[in-house]
């Protein structure tokens, strides 16, 4: 993934592909265990319940990029949902 | 709000987002909650979101860090009173040796390396990651390499065919 130069003595020696495979295998296993039995319909119902319980966040209208029109989810909104 | 489009994105992206937040160092409950919060916020603004995938990753990351900061600032007694039942409330997962070693190795990375790695694995380019994190692409690439090196070192991966 990161492409090491064989002559670069400052870097540790390892096989990128082996590391990537090991990490992917482990994360796949972790996610499979965490997501076992998860029901998307229950997840969607939870989202709609959170929306019903919280005030609508303020959204800037005509922002040019994805970062600039992120909703203003301040501590007040989070507190309202937590309660 | 177009619930059809929203629900399609939820079904397609939720698992990847949970994986992403866990890669930032979150527990299962923290990841579930951050992702659900991100989707709840997305739902209220759905018609204005131009790049749902990038938007959801940015907001899920922010929600996780905010919740993490609140947890650190809250006295233990108050935490118990506000404890919410985990969405995926089954037995706590038991990880095998490799899975636990990878979790520990990822958790031990400096925060910036963890963020860059999580976004890289989620499929974002260096330019997109730089935009998300508010840094330049050179810093992204440097953190990619250092994060990879750190993980290899911690997991004991040796180069087998370097030439």
DSSP states of B17-35: HHHHHHHTT--HHHHHHHH
In the prediction, which pLDDT does B75 show?
A: 54
Token pair for residue B111?
A: 């925060």
List CB contacts of B94: < 8 A, sequence separation 6 or more.
A33
H or E segment and range at residue B74:
none
In the prediction, which pLDDT does A16 show?
A: 75
Mutation choice for A interface testing from B117, B148, B150, B151 by most A CBs within 10 A: B148
Token pair for residue A46?
A: 């939870």
List CB contacts of B56: < 8 A, sequence separation 6 or more.
B9, B13, B17, B38, B39, B42
Query: What is the rounded CA–CA span in Å between residue B147 and residue B81?
Result: 38
For the ranges A26-40, B74-88, B125-139, the lowest mean pLDDT is seen at B74-88
Token pair for residue A65?
A: 């990029």
* pLDDT band, residue A55 (cuts 50/70/90): low
Please report the residues numbered 23 through 82 in chain A whose beta carbons come closer than 8 angstroms to any beta carbon of chain B. 23, 25-27, 29-31, 33-38, 40, 42-44, 46-48, 50-51, 54, 56-57, 59, 61, 65-67, 69-71, 73, 75, 78, 81-82
Cβ atoms of A51 and A80 closer than 8 Å: no
In this model, does residue A63 exceed pLDDT 70? no
- CB within 8 Å: B148 and A1: yes
In the prediction, which pLDDT does A12 show?
A: 53
Cβ atoms of B17 and A43 closer than 8 Å: no
**How far is CA A75 from each of CA A54, A72, B17, B45, B66, rounded to the nearest angstrom?**
12, 9, 22, 18, 8
Which residue in this structure is represented by tokens 């989810």? A73
By CA distance, what is B91's nearest residue in A? Answer: A34
Task: Report, in angstroms and rounded to the nearest whole number, the Rg of chain B calculated over CA atoms.
Answer: 17
- Nearest CB to A22 within list B145, B157, B159: B157
pTM for the whole structure:
0.72
Higher pLDDT: A16 or B77? It is A16
Average pLDDT for residues B35-45, to the nearest whole number? Answer: 96
Indicate the average pLDDT of chain B: 84
| Neighbour tally for B133: CB within 10 Å | 17
Give the A:B interface size as CB pairs under 8 Å: 161
């Amino acid at each position: 993934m990161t492409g090491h130069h064989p002559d670069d003595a400052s870097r540790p020696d390892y096989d990128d592909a082996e590391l990537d495979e090991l990490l992917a295998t482990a994360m796949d296993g972790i996610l499979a265990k965490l997501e076992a039995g998860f029901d998307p319909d229950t997840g969607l119902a939870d989202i709609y319940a959170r929306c019903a319980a919280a005030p609508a966040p303020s959204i800037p209208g005509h922002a040019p990029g994805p970062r600039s029109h992120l909703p203003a989810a301040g501590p007040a909104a989070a507190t309202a949902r937590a309660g | 709000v177009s619930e059809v489009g929203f629900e399609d994105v939820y079904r397609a992206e939720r698992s990847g987002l949970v994986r992403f937040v866990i890669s930032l160092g979150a527990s299962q409950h923290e990841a579930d909650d951050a992702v659900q919060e991100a989707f709840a916020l997305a739902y209220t603004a759905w018609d204005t979101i131009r790049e749902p995938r990038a938007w959801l990753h940015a907001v899920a990351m922010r929600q996780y860090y905010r919740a993490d900061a609140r947890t650190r600032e809250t006295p233990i007694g108050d935490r118990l009173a506000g404890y919410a039942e985990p969405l995926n409330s089954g037995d706590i997962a038991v990880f095998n040796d490799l899975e636990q070693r990878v979790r520990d190795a990822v958790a031990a990375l400096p925060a910036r390396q963890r963020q860059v790695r999580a976004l890289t694995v989620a499929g974002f380019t260096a330019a997109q990651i730089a935009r998300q994190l508010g840094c330049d692409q050179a810093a992204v690439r440097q953190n990619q390499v250092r994060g990879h090196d750190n993980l290899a070192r911690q997991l004991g991966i040796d180069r087998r065919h370097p030439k």
